Amino acid sequence: MISNSELQELDLFDLMSERHGLVRSKIENMWNETHDMHISGSEWYIMAKIYKHKRTMAYINKHVNISRQAVHKFVKQLNDKGLVDIQDVEGNKKEKSIQLTALGESCYLESKQHKALLEQQIIESIGEENVHKLIEIMKMDWKIE
């Protein structure tokens, strides 16, 4: 983990990257410390994209920042763990759709609880008003295409 003094030297983009890596790692560790089934950050990312939806592999490939080959690998791993169900798309022999199984949904919802705990820790550290400001800033249109 990077020290607070090192953070002071970083620009906006490196700061965002460091914080993103820190919270993703923390959330992943919160899960992996309490469960025998390891779920990687990339697997969580895919699970988040399909939560409450049946999505095609093409949709997932388009909406995640992971290579097509890696997406296929992670989806297979999720399927092997019983977290997603893979089905043929009717009328398209090549395309597959995936959705969370009941176990996958349960794991995803528990992970959301871990995120809520971490958010509460951040609120206690930097204050509720600052967290709300940060959320609002992140939701703004930054006009970056």
Assess if residue 8 is contained within a domain: no
Assess if residue 13 is contained within a domain: no
Assess if residue 19 is contained within a domain: no
H or E stretch covering 64: none
Assess if residue 24 is contained within a domain: no
Q: What is the CATH number of the domain that holds 100?
A: 1.10.10.10
Q: Please state at what angle helix 41-50 crosses helix 12-32, rounded to 10 degrees.
A: 90
Assess if residue 91 is contained within a domain: yes
Domain holding 81, by residue range, is 31-139
- 145 residues of the chain, pLDDT tens digit each: 788 889 899 999 999 999 999 999 999 999 999 999 999 989 999 999 999 999 999 999 999 989 999 999 999 999 999 999 999 988 888 899 999 999 999 999 999 999 999 999 999 999 999 999 999 999 999 999 7
Assess if residue 144 is contained within a domain: no
Assess if residue 22 is contained within a domain: no
Please give the Cα distance from 1 to 59 (Å, whole number).
34
What's the pTM value of the predicted model, to 2 decimals? 0.83
At residue 3, the pLDDT reads 85
Assess if residue 110 is contained within a domain: yes
At residue 145, the pLDDT reads 78
Residue 97: burial class (beta carbons within 10 Å; 0-12, 13-18, 19+): buried
If one counts the domains in the chain, the total is 1
Residue 15 CB partners (closer than 8 Å, separation 6+): 7
Please give the Cα distance from 15 to 18 (Å, whole number).
5
